Amino acid sequence: MRIIASINRFRRTTVCPSPQPITKHHQNHQQWRRIYTRTHHHPGNVVRVSKTPRRFCFSSIPSHSYSSSSSSDSRMGFLKWYLGMLESRPVITKAITSSLIYTAADLTSQIITLPPAGSFDSARTLRMAGFGMLLVGPSQHLWFNFIGRILPKRDVVTTLKKLCMGQALYGPCLNGVFFSYNAALQGESGNEIVARLKRDLLPTLMNGLMFWPMCDFLTYKVIPVHLQ
């Protein structure tokens, strides 16, 4: 009985140690990860084990994303401004646009056809720029608005009617003015201009039939009148 009582007293006085609290070392240990770098699979190679701390990196927005966003905003701003100019001042806007297109087209043509020892014909480029500004831009604005009023529908049949009218009326007139304009600025006489028209006008119109009807169909069918 004395032995049993002694055992009971020992149990009451002995305090079991509480679980060891999670120390900072354990917390840090949980943030470590193992990175296994295995070399080539050959006999005798050793697997190296290294410990590196887990790091959370928040990368900033790349600079090229910001620059591309800025350039996109600039393009949208220019497009909005240009569409506004087409609404407020359509004739002058289309005249300047046509002049720039004719200038770029003539420069491209000279680059392609220029001989190695040749030089740019700046007078020709100026003639093309003037033709686009003074004649093509304003005349196309008037023509497209006229054809849009008399044939307002955009179905296939109406679009084909517009196309035929453009090829039969506007195209020959514009090409005739183009040849006469260039010949006159180059100092040709009236007879020489007539001879040029007889020689060049019909072949130019026939060659244009391989290209312009398709462009005219898309223009009349898809593009709004104020943008044509």
Q: How far is CA 44 from the centre of its chain?
A: 58
CB-count exposure of residue 156 (10 Å: 0-12, 13-18, 19+) = exposed
Buried b (16+ CB within 10 A) or exposed e, 35-55: eeeeeeeeeeeeeeeeeeeee
Where do the DSSP E strands lie in 25-122?
Answer: 32-37, 48-53
Higher pLDDT, 74 or 128: 128
The values of phi and psi at residue 33, to 5°, are -130, 155
Residue 190 reports pLDDT greater than 70: yes
Average pLDDT over residues 80-101: 96
pLDDT the model gives residue 143: 97
Distances (CA, A) of 117 to 104, 111, 113, 163: 22, 12, 12, 43
C-alpha to C-alpha distance for 33 and 51, rounded to whole angstroms = 6
**Where are the alpha helices (H) located in 16-136, listed in sequence order?**
24-30, 63-88, 90-113, 122-131
pLDDT the model gives residue 40: 45
Residues 194-228 pLDDT 10s: 999 999 999 999 999 999 999 999 999 999 999 98
Residue 66 reports pLDDT greater than 60: no
C-alpha to C-alpha distance for 139 and 19, rounded to whole angstroms = 95
Residues 21-59 pLDDT 10s: 444 444 544 444 444 444 444 444 444 444 444 544 444
